[in-house]
Amino acid sequence: MRRIYVDKILEGKPTECYCRSQNGISNCEEKNTGISDTLFGRKNVFREMGFSRITPSRSGQRQSSQSNDMGKTRWSDCGCASCVSWMKNGDDAKLHVVVKNPSKGKGNNDDSGENVIFLHGFLSSSFLWTETVFPELNSSKYKLFAVDLLGFGNSPKPRECLYTLNDHTEMIEKSVIHEFNLTSFHLVAHSMGCIIALALAAKHPNNLKSITLIAPPCFLSSGEEDATQIALKKLAYKRLWPPLSFGASFMTWYEHLGRCVCYFVCRHHTTWEKILKLITRQRKLNFLVIDLTRHTHHSAWHTMHNVICGGAKMMDPCLETLRAARARVSVVQGSRDLVVPVECSNNVKVKVPDAEVKIINGVGHTAVIIGREKEFAKDLEIIWDSVTNAKG
């Protein structure tokens, strides 16, 4: 709770937390459909002991990313040149997007290629695609867009944003679809990015040519629990092993402790990167290591709950929309995925019977892409070409 008072001293106002009673939650959900009830529904030791009474009121619940504080950073967030470079654009800030145009060849120009939008997963960035798959794709046929999602990588990390599913999709529309006047596109997404990709595809079913989901966290509601609570338990199950699962559960269940970790690690990521370079004697660190710290606790915390957990209940209507539109849906996942249960891929098939599901033996959550880049790129091109030829 001391963190709240430090916020008040250094920023002039306290930053509200979710260590409070359940009062008013239903009203909050009715007014903000993008807010997940997992933000309030977690068991909290301090709440049960009555300490939450000293927590500031959340009566002024923040509504969206459009705020006067968008161009400010918290004392506990990193203020290095890379992390705040987007602030110079203020309210006009857009996502960081890496664009790879089709190479000019005989009878070819920049506008002749197929448009493909790539979305990364949680605690990742556009590096997942630009450092692995992009070099393996046919450079003369496709115009590629790799996006840093809101709150991650080099994209804006507004302090007043609730990072709802709608916030993420609107920023992609603003930064890619509208910015580059895309009238048709393919979607490729990994892990959490699949939830955002499905929501985006459902908003633009007539512009969608195909959607490829890699390890999609898709959960079906049961008679006893809705998809939101199932996603929280499945993806953030409290366990010590493997380390990735332990980290996910720790950062999902404990808001204040999680922010402390982000303060010591993410805020000082440049220092840790220098230390790692000295230890490993490498001039350039692996992008997977760098991506782990390129976020704020606020962006990661809310995205985890409002997109991964809260977005779980939105998957049914999104998949229904794609099924009705007869969209080309492909699913790829590794048989040894320890982050997202393999059953999730089959859940997509339940909702979209025509979806193609491919389980790759012997690979895990990211190894389904990294380490088999050529095979993965070839599979993508087969999907895209089949759609083009079918409509041609």
Give catalytic residues, as residue numbers: 120, 191, 337, 365
Q: Which residue, 110, 348, 97, is CA-closest to 220?
A: 348
Say if CB 106 and CB 380 are below 8 A apart.
no
| Cα gap 321→352, rounded to integer Å | 10
| Cα gap 262→8, rounded to integer Å | 19
Helices (H), the chain: 2-11, 25-31, 38-41, 45-49, 81-84, 127-130, 165-172, 192-203, 227-235, 243-253, 255-264, 269-280, 287-291, 297-303, 315-324, 343-351, 373-391
Copy the structure tokens of residue 206: 């007539």
Give the start-end residues of each E strand in the chain. Answer: 97-100, 114-119, 142-147, 185-190, 208-214, 329-334, 356-360
| Cα gap 309→292, rounded to integer Å | 20
Q: Which residues contact 237 (CB under 8 A, 6 or more apart)?
A: 245, 249
Helices 243-253, 255-264: axis angle to 10 degrees equals 120
DSSP 8-class letter at 98: E
- What Å distances lie between residue 370 and 131, 176, 295, 367, 379, CA to CA? 9, 25, 22, 5, 14
Residue 74 CB neighbour total at 10 angstroms: 21
Single-letter code of the amino acid located at 69: D
Q: 């892990």: which residue's tokens?
A: 191
- What is the SS3 assignment for 9? helix
DSSP 8-class letter at 91: G
